[in-house]
Amino acid sequence: MGDPLPKSLGSKRKYLTEEKINSIVRSYGEFEQSKTSKLFATTDFGYRRITVERPLQLSFYPHDADKLEAFQNDKAFTKWKELGSETLTALKALDADKIPSRDGFKQMLAKQMRSKLTASQFKLIQKHLAEHDDDAELCRDAKGKLEANAELRDYENIPLAQDIDEYVAKEVTPHVPLAWIDKKKTDAKDGEVGIVGYEIPFNRHFYEYVPPRPLEVIDAELETLNKEIMEMLREI
């Protein structure tokens, strides 16, 4: 219902004349369904934004040349000194090119080393020599709880009127069976899982289907364009 602004103010912006404003106010006051007016409950525009986590599954590649080079070029590694040489020697001694288990990799590496790596030092190794692998063993923390892979974290906007668990079971779990909801992330106002938000998707609610042009018309236009192109090529 808006009229375009002068080009200097942008082609995407529009303004409402007094006549259009009065028309909108009348439609609002009449409170009836029409082509330009629809009735909704406020909850129809609300949703809960939940965080969907997927488990960390890592395979380690102790002999991958590119990964080893990136590991050695890391500034943190340059401070390891003697431990750095010992670690590289231990990695070289491992008899597997791919180890699909973080715990298994830790044990194999520990057997080859005299020194004990700190948690931060092992994280540096993990950062450069490991990558996600759906076939790898699930990574768990000291309490046996599954660890989440931050790189695979995703978000879902679930309508307020829909049950979160039912939505996940229908829309998420069939595609990623091991995924779970981070239920620690709750809304500040009601304390329920998921952050409440609202949006009014005008295009979705007021969409009008426009049927495509007949194939005969499209074919005729393509034929005309082909003739024009061939004529231009002959001139060249």
Residue 9 pLDDT greater than 70, yes or no: no
Residue 10 pLDDT greater than 80, yes or no: no
Q: Per residue in 72-101, pLDDT tens?
A: 999 999 999 899 999 999 999 999 999 999
H or E stretch covering 103: helix 102-112
Rounded Cα distance between 16 and 1, Å, is 7
205 phi and psi angles, rounded to 5 deg: -80, -25
Q: Per residue in 154-193, pLDDT tens?
A: 999 999 989 999 999 999 999 999 999 999 999 999 999 9
4 contacts 14 by C-beta, under 8 angstroms = yes
> What is the amino acid identity at position 9?
L
Q: Per residue in 27-60, pLDDT tens?
A: 999 999 988 899 999 889 999 999 999 999 999 9
pTM check: above 0.75: no
Q: What is the largest CA-CA distance in the chain?
A: 84
Q: Per residue in 204-216, pLDDT tens?
A: 888 888 898 899 9
Token pair in block for residue 18: 């007094």
132 contacts 58 by C-beta, under 8 angstroms = yes
